[in-house]
Structure 1
Amino acid sequence: MAWTYLLRCADGTYYVGSTVDLEGRLWQHNHSDELGAAYTRRRRPVELVWSCFYDRVEDAFAFEKQVQGWNRRKREALIRGEWERLPDLSRRPAVQERLARQQVETDPS
């Protein structure tokens, strides 16, 4: 039983983590100088903006590592629950621009 989670920091950046105790870990990020991550310690307060429960710790940790490699737009789509947008948001900017042009060209309106 584990969680992958996303925090929005006071400076607007995002922090991705995983834990077996979501409530306790959130408290640590906001209050503990010994147990909270160094990244969030300098960016308090932090706010939980997304979380997902997993049956296995290994799965939560694996998704944490995956999301850590994502750009801001893709993380924000995850937060909004826009699952269908995630594949396109992982493409390079040049591919994004080409897809946007193609959509405009094929849009009948």
Structure 2
Amino acid sequence: MSEWYIYLIRCNDNTLYTGITIDVERRFKEHLSQGKKSAKYLRGKLPLKLVFQQKAGNRKEAAKLEIKVKKLSKASKEKIVATSSKIGHNLFLKK
């Protein structure tokens, strides 16, 4: 079973994009390419900067965590980026 990761990318307009993948480096390169595999949200928002990545368990756990992070305020997401703490990750996974 593959290990999934959650990641946050900072866009040129200072917004934070959240995603999940099994290969963060590959996925980030896809976003940078601005091609068909790039998230539509990120197109035209170069330069991009990968500001956070962390293991998120299996696909199901990663998807749940992604939804929770996407619902957070910008300030809360910035706090995650600033602390890059696994404590935050564990809090998100609690039901």
Task: Using structure 1 for the length normalisation, give the TM-score.
Answer: 0.71
Does the alignment pair 1:74 with 2:76? yes
Given that residues 12 and 46 in structure 2 are in contact (C-alpha distance below 8 angstroms), is that contact kept between their aligned partners in structure 1? yes
| Cα displacement string for residues 60-109 of structure 1 (whole angstroms, at most 9, x for unaligned residues) | 111111000111100001111176xx7xxxxxxxxxxxxxxxxxxxxxxx
List 4+ stretches of structure 1 deviating above 4 A.
none
CA deviation after TM superposition for structure 1 residue 54, in Å: 2.6
Task: Look at both structures and tell me which one has the larger radius of gyration over its CA atoms.
Answer: 1
Paired residue type of 1:5? Y
Given that residues 32 and 48 in structure 2 are in contact (C-alpha distance below 8 angstroms), is that contact kept between their aligned partners in structure 1? yes
Structure 2: give runs of 5+ residues left out of the alignment: 89-95
What are the residue-to-residue correspondences of 1:21-32 with 2, within 5 Å? 21-32=23-34
Structure 1: give runs of 5+ residues left out of the alignment: 87-109
Q: Distance in 1 between matches of 2:56 and 2:7?
A: 11
Q: Give the structure with the higher percent helix.
A: 1
| 1:43 corresponds to | 45
Partner residue of 1:5 out of 4, 7, 30: 7
Bigger relative contact order (CA 8 A; separation at least 6): 2
Given that residues 8 and 18 in structure 2 are in contact (C-alpha distance below 8 angstroms), is that contact kept between their aligned partners in structure 1? yes
SS in structure 1 opposite 2:13?
Answer: coil
SS in structure 1 opposite 2:51?
Answer: strand
Paired residue type of 1:12? N
Aligned residues: 84
**Percent of matched pairs sharing the same residue:** 27
